[in-house]
Structure 1
């Protein structure tokens, strides 16, 4: 397996989406090994009790929330397969 290296950003930069603090905004990246990394707000404590019965969060996982705008800007860069 390849190392977890960021290959590219999906969508616009936070600055292009209107942020004036580019270092502290949601972002989505594709890793060299095909996985995705998300920078967002950790909402695990608030949302884990509201997950559907067939979903769960492992000790090493977090529920991360990003803005709708971040996802919509990334949509064009998300591969179909």
Structure 2
């Protein structure tokens, strides 16, 4: 076995991508509710097409959006 790290084991974290159904599942909402959030929240990270008909979002972008929502909620609660 070589000492070289495989791409999956390397120091750089590989990106994880989620389709709409998986994003809805992660958020605990329906795909219909997700569609409403996407339509009304301009800060929601955009999906992009990786193949015809296959749209994904990067997990790290979704996590960043969630952190921002939590921070905003805390600030509003302190008022």
Which TM class, normalised by the smaller chain length? under 0.3
Higher normalized strand content (fraction of residues):
1
Higher relative contact order, structure no. (Cα contacts within 8 Å, ≥ 6 residues apart): 1
The TM-score normalised by the length of structure 1 is 0.21
Larger radius of gyration: 2
TM (norm. structure 2) is 0.21
